[in-house]
Structure 1
Amino acid sequence: MTTYRGRATATAFILDVPLIGEHEARRRVIAFWRHGAELRVLPHGHWLLHLAEPTSVRAELAPGLLAEPGADEIAWKHAGSTRVERLSALPTLNPADWLNSTTLRIAHLKPLEPPEPPVPSIERMHKPAPDLRAAAKIGRSSPLTDRATSELRARLPHARSSGGSHAARLWSHVRSALVWLAVKSPAFSLVRRRHQRYLRDLTRAFEQRRWDDALREAIALGGSETALRTLRLPRRRGSLRPSLTTASSSASLSYGPTVYEHLQDLYRSAAEALERAGEVIEAAFVLADLLDSPAEAVDLLERHRHWRLAAELAEGRDLSADLVVRLWWRAGDRGRAVDLARSRGAFATGILRLATVDAAAALELRHAWVHDRQAAVDHIGAVEAAWPEAKLRPMVVSSIQTGIALGGADAGHLFAYLAAYQPGEAARSAVQALVDSDDPATLLARARFGTTFAELRCDDPVADRALATAGLRALVRDGGWTLDRKTLGRVTKALSSRADPLAVADLADVPRAPRSAAEAPFVTASGPPGTIALFDAAVLGNGGVLAACGDAGTFLLTRDGRVRARWDIPAHQLVIADHGGAALLVNRRESVRDVHRLDLATRKVRRWTALRVKAILPSYDGGLLTAVSDEGIVVFDVLADSPRMVWREMTEAAKILSVNRTATSISAIGLVSVNGRPQLEAWRWELPGWTLRGRTRVRSDESLHVLACGKALSPTLSAGDVHATVDDGVAEVRAAQGEVMFRAAFPDGDTLGLRSHAGITTLFDSGGRIVAVDEHGTVQANLRLRIA
């Protein structure tokens, strides 16, 4: 291309493609191609390769003729003449189009250690904050009010953001003292006249029905005349949003109950007048924000079919969850209605409230409830949700059959529903086999069948009488199924009224089993430590034993140690659903927890997500998972495809030391700030609605555990409402009230674990030995993992 010999700095090359051929030209372009380079086509088939940055090359080894393009043009010689071309007018080529990957051979590489799974962003359910002022098209405050307010603020100190509740209370006392001093000063008459003028003008505006002026200048009442204690005139509200807590008062100087009652009557009359005039949004604004009566505002909006705004206001003001569910359902946002019903346990009450206004919609919500329970693999929950509505019973037949296949005490419960719905020969034979059995292992299943069938009834009276008779005979034979006096009387009466009268007359009275005075059982773990490391274990109510063995996978065993199923899913923690039909397999990584969902009926495993949390509680309700994170106690919706946070509690805690839950209660000990000083407190909530039932101070001891019932103590281990102390390899397990349930010895044992599920308490050690005892003191499992 050139006779020049030596090194030069090149910014571009001109390639003579007709001379060297396109294949060679492509090879040379790719050799010098860097990110930012450009390739353009010159006339007569030449290419201009504009480099990403100047490059030093030997001229005789360059891919083409060295060139120096200008800002938007290039001069080059061709056929003895100099040509000038505009760069922007030249067509471009993309070398990526030359690549043909079809002939490439793909080799899959495996890392030495699998990388941490990506942690998806967490979706949050935010409370709506409806702007009733904007919805009602109410303007901003007048310049006169703004000016008067500014003058008053210039004379008095005003509250600023405090660092905590102690600072807020301190400022409240200071402000009260300043008001008292101002009232006693000669300047008070000036302030009083200003407030009296404001009240006269406000009253006149309402009486003349100048609604825009009246509503934008109105003072908000806080629910009692005690709120009227400030020297300020009403503040300007640029964008009014209903408070997510109790609406704060912006009332003026305290003139006593007379002024308060006057304003209250004035606002209530205005709300009634606005509703009669068809100004529903304005009337709701008066009720919700001026009178601080959000329930009345919601009722008004619902009457006038403003369902979405009513739902937003009800949820934002923390009104009852069943009301919020009803409003969201009527507003057409059924997904949010179901999410709220699941997170607050408001399906049943929401259906009752919805049925009072729309029976068809209530049936649809019940249908959604059944689907929600089926998605959570809660077979009993799905059946009981559908049962009050006969039209929905066919959709839960599969849930009944699947739950019976799982076995255990729940199978007896579902047998009662199967017999009531399909009292055919097959169902009657299966029930007869259950109640005629005298096997102690099926005692709980017989008891669950009898107590459940006592509340149901077959459509076929002949089948109903036969099944009631069989259940009553089993009740007498088994000595009352260890039922308490009240339950025993109710079940006996219900079955006797439907059983064969001749059989009832022949049967003896139900004997009451004497109260056992035997000591708590003592169990020695079977044999030496097993052959595989055990990280977590749970003995299920259906007779299975689920074991998490770290990277070795997860196993489902019989109670004598035989392997029923194995999943090649690393798991270090098990999270068991309260209903026993599902579990979460948690693999602890360096900073995240990888979570898989396991359906114990179908034995299918599906990956759910990865969570960056500090701890995950060992049980859940099948749909909502509770964990501890930097944000406090957080609740995730397990049925969502990606992690979605639906609830948070104890967000103000600097540290959370202990959390325990059962199906009906959850408690936590956290380090919270009280009056500016940190102290340990035990909080207890009622599930599923997360209603706070207790908040007590506990002693400063970071070894404290809290049981789900809220009791704080210092055991070695705790789970739900049971706890254990371990001394020299012997664990003593106690109930919440302190009575000893059983003792278990683990000779040469290492770290012990404790779990309580379905009335069965499980103890295990890292060597693979598992001991389980039920609430009646019967040993349910004593095995050693020996996986070949």
Structure 2
Amino acid sequence: MKLPPVAAVSRPCLTGLQSIAGIWLPAEWFGAQERATRLLSVWQSKARAYRFPAGDLLIFHEARSLQCEALPGWPLRRYDRTLASAELSANERKAAPAADVWLITAGQIEALRLADAEPILPGLWVDLDAYPLMECVDASELVRLPEMDLDLDGKSLGEVLGDGLPQASDRKQQFLEKLARDRQRSGNRTESASSKPGLLAGTGVADILRVLKIMAFLVGCVMLTVYLAEGMRSQPDPPLEPGASSLPQGTMPLTPPTAELPIPPAPENAGAGWALLLVAVLVWVWFAHVLRRSKARGEPPMLKYSTQPGGASQASSSAQSRIPPRRSHASPPRQRWRDWMVQAIKASGLANLLANYHVRYMREMLQMFEDGDLEKALRHAVPLGESQPMSGQALGNPQARKDLSLSRVSGAGGAGYNFGEEFSQHLAATYRRAFEKLDREGRVDEAVFVLAELLQSRSEALDYLERKERVKQAAELALAWDMPVHTIVRLHCLADDWRTAIAVARRDNAFEAAVSLLATKWPDASRRLRVEWAQSLADRGQWLEAVDTLWPVEQERNLAIRWLESAEKAEGQLAARALVQRACLVPATLQTHVERIARLRNDPEAYAERTALALALIELKAPNTACRRLAKAILPALMVDIAQTRASFHRQQLYVLIQLSGDELLKADLPRQPFPEASRPQALASRKDTAHWQAPPAGNQAILDAAVLADGQFLLALGEAGLVRVDEQGKITARFATPATHIVAAHSGMLALALIKRDQIWRVSRIDIANLHITDLGVMQLDHFATSYDGIGWTVAVGNRLCVLDSTRSLRDVLWQVTDLPGPVISLQTNRQFEVMAVGKPGGFEAWQYRLEDSRRLVGRDQYDYGGGNDFWMIDASDGVLGVSNKVKPNKVELTLQYPHRHIGIALDGVVTSSAAVKLTKDRQLLACVFDEPSLVTRTFFLTHGRSGPCGVLEWPYDAPASTRAMDGDWVIFDCEGRLWHMNAATSMVRSISLRL
């Protein structure tokens, strides 16, 4: 009830900027509907509302600094436990009765008690009938990652050439049948041994016996080798005269077979060499046996790119194809055991024996070429290996091929022979003559074999197949050999395999080079690929680039104009640049945008759009009349921006604009002194002082995720309430009616993916921010996913499988994948240039780093063990893995950042660390180190390399835990009470928003 009024007060109302704790809405001033509307306009999270007979009361969760005159009701200030609508002195408060609210009417205090009020639930006032209800998803049927239905793994040369190669001899079939029988007998023995109980069951005794048998066999082989070696020494070949050759007539003399394996005389102490050789062989056999056992237990000691899907995907059809990762640029690892074996062979005196074998084999092989028996010669020919790096010296004798088919390989990298430069040139000339003879005889398949396998000239082999009009075979081989991506795309276009060509081009973003290669000789294919290129740019939200790409194709200009309109709908700087493009391409339609041009000319706050438009005009190579009119319209306002230091242009740039506008008088009136320059922004990392910031006031809606868009706008995820786009002042400019708790932002700032988890699956929607369009992509089971993408390819991980999905229309198309990682993915981070993931293993993890700008190639793979002096590890897309250790001292924290090749120490003074919880986020060279202090505040320290202290400190309320997101130099911090704080590291510019719906 209302208490009787008491003594008058001297200052009966609140004015100016005050700390406001609530608002009173009197019933005498506002009706019930009006009070509800005004109350909702200032509602904030955790606020309370009450209804009295005299009006409605809103109590904020925490006091906020507000302008009293701008509030929708009476402002209330808190004095201890009581709210008052005036600034009361101590005597006035002492004279006032005990109450929850003091209202000052007619200069007197009226007291209200909350016990006499009725609580209000504003959520019941919101009508949800107009909102569509989404059908619930049955989580029992989880949607798994799709399989790729394109074979981008490539085929072997034998599969490509087919029956064109000579058939294998009968000995091959006999060998394969014997091998199958041996495998079957081995499998039966294994099965029977595993089924028999006894002493050897479940123990390692059987393994030891098996290894002993192998060792005994090797000892016998060594003794036989000794016997043969002694026999050859007793009957040596007649020595060659100086300059003579042991090769057939007409061939070049053979230089020492290898530079790494010379032919020294047998040492006197050959027994030690034999012992060393025997020990090395036995160790190698034991290691190979352990390796096989570890693979059988499911513990792969090293990664291999397998094409078999893992996990639940193994149930899919084997006919489905997968997209392999591009091969690494790195050379194959050197196999050190081969070097040890070479040293043992030298010490044992076997070097002469192996050299004689090599000489004899090469003599016989060259004789086959001289006799013209090319079919047999090709089976015995040794490939040239100088063009490809080798993993070590081949130790055995060269062997003849069973047939001319090859396994799928993208390059060399195995063991090889190095016969010296002179003899290698002789082999190359011999193979070249064989190729020319095969070409003259029309034996195309064998000629390709010589080019690709023997001469290792695969680009020439593809060109040869293309000249012979075998484009389909050339395309398949280019994919199998992992040739340059523009070559793969061009050949598949010529082979009319457009689906594969487009998939590879979208995977590696390789349209431009392929279009240029096709333009001269195949214009129709070039035009079709250009259309696909433009569509991929539009799918990424790069509409202006898509219009420029598509405009040369006259039949598709209507589609280009629709993309131009999409860019104009985005408003801001993108819409300003779209006006320039419209003036260049369709000048007759510029008249319909007179109002937009007038706003750009007259609005003082549109200086950023004017600057973008002016820069676009300056870059034009062939401006027309419409462009000149556009320059003339905005040039006066642009000069005002320059004078007010809102824009900065060089004098030469202004001369170009004035020349374009045709206004010679303005050019004559330009001042001779330098133009005033806009203040140059200073990067946070280069500041000498330490910046200090405070969190913004709380809003009335929880922010679950936030992303920075183009032109300084933000996209906010509000959970079941959907998403909103807000401008720099926090004003809502667009709403998207799809639930979302996570945002995956496109690099263009015009697209995003909205995610929300439903039990064990994620629902994903694609948001076209400019056109306000939502596409439901479906649901999928995900463990990890990238928080940014290029607008098309989105990286996700499930278990030990990593995929890049084409997110333009659904989640069913795979652009790239690795299906059998050695462990589950435990972390995933991406940016524009790099992508790094942590793959779990016992006691640690592996860090895999891919370079995205180079056809997504693996550039690093390192192993880390937990611990190692670090408190925790942080995964960063650019730097890979960062080890962090912190030492807590009284009022001080010492951080040690362990990079792959350096250590950085940073000391933070004045930090209370009695029970601080440390969290780190990294972007480029800037780290945000967050300390949570119970009952105090949360401090975020921004740290950089080369500086011992922080560049900036942000204080945040402790009772509202904040989330941190880094996006290519932009830092966004937000919480569940509607606060959002944004800082650009390149300019140190800070913006704060309190979200109010």
TM-score (norm 1): 0.72
| Contact kept in structure 2, 1:717 and 1:754, CA below 8 Å | yes
Cα separation, 1, equivalents of 2:651 and 2:467: 47
| Contact kept in structure 2, 1:527 and 1:784, CA below 8 Å | no
User: How far has the Cα of 1:573 moved from its partner?
Assistant: 0.8
Other-structure match for 2:43: none
User: How far has the Cα of 1:597 moved from its partner?
Assistant: 1.7
The 5 A counterparts of 1:132-531 are: 132-133=157-158, 135=161, 136-140=164-168, 143=171, 155=221, 163-164=301-302, 169-181=335-347, 184-185=349-350, 188-189=352-353, 192-223=355-386, 229-234=394-399, 236-237=401-402, 240-248=405-413, 251=416, 255-387=419-551, 392-424=556-588, 425-426=590-591, 429=594, 432-433=597-598, 435-437=600-602, 439-440=604-605, 442-456=606-620, 460=624, 462-470=625-633, 476-479=639-642, 491-492=653-654, 494-500=656-662, 501-508=664-671, 510-515=675-680, 523-528=693-698, 530-531=699-700
Question: SS of 1:622's equivalent?
Answer: coil
Other-structure match for 1:769: 979
User: How far has the Cα of 1:175 moved from its partner?
Assistant: 3.3
User: Structure 1: which 5+ runs fail to align?
Assistant: 1-109
- CA deviation profile, 1:337-373 (whole Å, cap 9, x unmatched): 1111111111112212222432332222111111233
User: How far has the Cα of 1:621 moved from its partner?
Assistant: 1.0
Cα separation, 2, equivalents of 1:353 and 1:693: 28
Q: Specify whether residues 455 and 119 from structure 1 end up closer, same or farther in structure 2 by C-alpha distance, changes over 3 A only.
A: same
Question: SS of 2:745's equivalent?
Answer: strand
2:139 corresponds, among 110, 115, 137, to: 115
Cα separation, 1, equivalents of 2:136 and 2:767: 27
Cα separation, 1, equivalents of 2:650 and 2:444: 56
Q: Specify whether residues 745 and 415 from structure 1 end up closer, same or farther in structure 2 by C-alpha distance, changes over 3 A only.
A: farther
User: How far has the Cα of 1:625 moved from its partner?
Assistant: 0.2
Cα separation, 2, equivalents of 1:659 and 1:725: 20
| Contact kept in structure 2, 1:593 and 1:610, CA below 8 Å | yes
Question: SS of 1:203's equivalent?
Answer: helix
Question: SS of 2:385's equivalent?
Answer: coil
Question: SS of 2:710's equivalent?
Answer: coil
Cα separation, 2, equivalents of 1:524 and 1:488: 37
User: How far has the Cα of 1:326 moved from its partner?
Assistant: 1.0
| Contact kept in structure 1, 2:338 and 2:393, CA below 8 Å | no
> How many residue pairs get matched?
664
Cα separation, 1, equivalents of 2:137 and 2:493: 48
Other-structure match for 2:960: 750
Other-structure match for 2:32: none
User: How far has the Cα of 1:296 moved from its partner?
Assistant: 2.0
| Contact kept in structure 2, 1:741 and 1:777, CA below 8 Å | no
Cα separation, 2, equivalents of 1:593 and 1:179: 60
User: How far has the Cα of 1:576 moved from its partner?
Assistant: 1.4
Cα separation, 2, equivalents of 1:111 and 1:466: 53
| Contact kept in structure 1, 2:139 and 2:761, CA below 8 Å | no
User: Structure 2: which 5+ runs fail to align?
Assistant: 1-133, 180-216, 223-280, 292-300, 304-331, 885-918, 932-936
Cα separation, 2, equivalents of 1:419 and 1:669: 46
Q: Specify whether residues 113 and 383 from structure 1 end up closer, same or farther in structure 2 by C-alpha distance, changes over 3 A only.
A: closer
Cα separation, 1, equivalents of 2:405 and 2:644: 61
User: How far has the Cα of 1:507 moved from its partner?
Assistant: 2.9
| Contact kept in structure 2, 1:722 and 1:736, CA below 8 Å | yes
1:130 equivalent to 2:155? Answer yes
- CA deviation profile, 1:322-344 (whole Å, cap 9, x unmatched): 11111111111112111111111
Cα separation, 2, equivalents of 1:649 and 1:123: 11
Other-structure match for 1:668: 836
Letter in 2 for 1:140: A
User: How far has the Cα of 1:620 moved from its partner?
Assistant: 1.0
1:717 equivalent to 2:921? Answer yes
Cα separation, 2, equivalents of 1:350 and 1:737: 44
User: How far has the Cα of 1:418 moved from its partner?
Assistant: 1.6
Cα separation, 2, equivalents of 1:168 and 1:721: 34
1:729 corresponds, among 932, 938, 952, to: 938
Structure 1 stretch displaced more, 306-315 or 616-625: 306-315
User: How far has the Cα of 1:273 moved from its partner?
Assistant: 2.8
Cα separation, 2, equivalents of 1:280 and 1:153: 48
1:643 corresponds, among 812, 835, 840, to: 812
TM-score (norm 2): 0.58
The 5 A counterparts of 1:1-20 are: none
Q: Specify whether residues 439 and 306 from structure 1 end up closer, same or farther in structure 2 by C-alpha distance, changes over 3 A only.
A: farther
1:536 equivalent to 2:536? Answer no
| Contact kept in structure 2, 1:707 and 1:736, CA below 8 Å | no
Q: Specify whether residues 645 and 153 from structure 1 end up closer, same or farther in structure 2 by C-alpha distance, changes over 3 A only.
A: farther
Cα separation, 2, equivalents of 1:481 and 1:274: 77
Other-structure match for 1:11: none
Cα separation, 1, equivalents of 2:442 and 2:940: 71
Cα separation, 2, equivalents of 1:268 and 1:629: 50
Question: SS of 2:335's equivalent?
Answer: helix
- CA deviation profile, 1:49-104 (whole Å, cap 9, x unmatched): xxxxxxxxxxxxxxxxxxxxxxxxxxxxxxxxxxxxxxxxxxxxxxxxxxxxxxxx
Higher relative contact order, chain-length normalized (CA < 8 Å, sep 6+): 2
User: How far has the Cα of 1:639 moved from its partner?
Assistant: 2.9
Letter in 2 for 1:171: W
Letter in 2 for 1:600: I
Letter in 1 for 2:441: A
- CA deviation profile, 1:161-200 (whole Å, cap 9, x unmatched): 9544999834323432454356x249x54x5554434323
Structure 1 stretch displaced more, 512-521 or 543-552: 512-521
Q: Specify whether residues 759 and 716 from structure 1 end up closer, same or farther in structure 2 by C-alpha distance, changes over 3 A only.
A: closer
Cα separation, 1, equivalents of 2:976 and 2:485: 44
Question: SS of 1:598's equivalent?
Answer: strand
Cα separation, 2, equivalents of 1:212 and 1:568: 70
Letter in 2 for 1:729: T
Letter in 1 for 2:800: E
Cα separation, 1, equivalents of 2:574 and 2:158: 54
| Contact kept in structure 1, 2:646 and 2:678, CA below 8 Å | no
| Contact kept in structure 2, 1:541 and 1:760, CA below 8 Å | no
User: How far has the Cα of 1:575 moved from its partner?
Assistant: 0.8
Question: SS of 2:500's equivalent?
Answer: helix
Q: Specify whether residues 214 and 420 from structure 1 end up closer, same or farther in structure 2 by C-alpha distance, changes over 3 A only.
A: same
| Contact kept in structure 2, 1:553 and 1:571, CA below 8 Å | yes
Cα separation, 1, equivalents of 2:822 and 2:604: 51
Other-structure match for 2:853: 687
Question: SS of 1:767's equivalent?
Answer: coil
Q: Specify whether residues 708 and 356 from structure 1 end up closer, same or farther in structure 2 by C-alpha distance, changes over 3 A only.
A: farther
Letter in 2 for 1:782: I
Cα separation, 1, equivalents of 2:219 and 2:394: 15
Question: SS of 2:587's equivalent?
Answer: coil
